Structure 1
Amino acid sequence: MPRPRQVIPPARTVTTRQRAAEGSPTTSNDEPPVTESAVFTQMNPAEVIGNDCNNVTTLLTENQRLIFENARLQEENRNFHERNVSQCTRCNESLHPFPRLIAYESTLLPYEGKTDWDEYMSHVDVVARSNGWSEQRKAQKLASSLRGPALSILSTLLPCERTEWVPLTTALSKRFGQQNLGPKWQANLEARRQRAGESLSDLAADIEKMTRLALPGWPESCKDQMGVRAFLKALADEDLRRVLAAAVPLSVQDALTRAQLIESAMNKEGCWDCGQGGHTRAKCPKRKPQPQEN
């Protein structure tokens, strides 16, 4: 901060004639005029510096006080803003207890208990994320989408639990979930065979689903190995199974892609039983049908 400038009053000259008029003694020789500035220069420099230091200290103290006061006012303003926002939020929630619906809101598919519960929950999660639903809103929409056997779940819950996410999904999972049916799906996977007229893509999709349900919690690498094994075992064409096994597919999807390529090449070459084109050995009309395993 710049040092305050010392104001010096204009010098006043005292002549010999004035001293004579005032009665002061005079000498024969005229003395030089005495000015007040000369008197000022005779002051102690330490006193001038001390006065300047006191002024600077006072200004610094006042500046520090203003800084603290400004910080205090800013803190009070921030607290007031937070309280205002909180009160406005509570008022909006009391006036609008449910979130406002948007014009393009997606709806849930009806659930009757026939669709796999885990797959339907994936559908609920996607729709809820796209619409921005809260947990309570998801429970309300899920309860309103229940049909048939799934609708009877609501009667087993308390009225306050029918629109609560955790109690509702827990009850539905116990009724329609597949967590405790691993041995059943393992047996079905072991006995799965390709049906007459069933495409390879449909067979692969069913094998993947059954593997996921039969081996919950298993590593993905183990699920892939078990799925490939079940897919090879389920193929009706023995020649296709033998050629595909030699390719050593890494997953069910890999096995499906390779099987489709091999089947396409076999169709071009013709049936290995009758020698005619347009069909494989498994679909040869001259081949005797084999009993299907259930």
Structure 2
Amino acid sequence: MTFTTRFAPSPTGPLHLGHAYSALLAHDMARAAGGRFLLRIDDLDQSRARPEWEQQIYDDLAWLGLSWDEKPRRQSDHFDDYETVLDTLRARALTFECQCTRRDIEAAASAPQEGAPLFGPDGRIYPGTCRAKDLSADEATCTRLNMARAAKDLYARFIETGPAFAGDHNLTQRDLTETIGDVVLSRRNMAASYHLSVVLDDAATGVTHVVRGEDLFEATRIHVLLQTLLGLPVPRYHHHSLIRDGAGKRLAKRDDARAIAKFRDEGASPAEIREMVGL
């Protein structure tokens, strides 16, 4: 199987040095292995995606010297595909409809069981308020995975090659139910959650090695669970260290001072960008 990586930015703001590091690393790994490097535009959130930011993604990456081996995949072109898969999970009784607001979830979680984790890779761990309700799609604000059912008798594992988490990782039912909970698979105003969409996108494009920041390592358990439930290949994962500012805080898109375009406009070269990010 051809070694295939991808870079999947969202067109919601300028790419910064952290994006440059992730894209360059994935590209370099693919080229060193004689494999493929793909570009995906994660424009799932249409309320924030902008054409001008998408164009700047292409411009920034091309300036860095990166090339991709297929036409970029845009998530907004595949909403029907996400819905089809979501319907199969519903038919298997692995989901439930939920009408809880964030305020409802906070209130229900205000008196947690002693020692129980409060937050997981999908945010506040859902307390199960709507799990036993029979809500229609019209009444619901989102569709959630019933984790207890999904994880029952499930054997799932993944291999991590990143320096901080390298090794063979097994998923357990207790781990999934107690530290992740009933994750959101879609919202009323969004065709699929990040977790469901990236799993389906990676499988559709034949990604064999997922290269991304270590802040997403914990979410990998959700992705491997979904891959296993849906009978999809489980890629190898490589979670790299993050590029941080002088105060040790990871970069965000609002940090325009470290935007790739700003360095380019000030006369920096792609080689200098590589040096800045440690490549």
TM-score range, shorter chain: under 0.3
TM-score, with normalisation over the residues of structure 2? Answer: 0.21
TM-score, with normalisation over the residues of structure 1? Answer: 0.20
Greater share of residues in strand: 2
Greater share of residues in helix: 1
Greater relative contact order (Cα < 8 A, sep 6+): 2
Which of the two has higher C-alpha Rg? 1
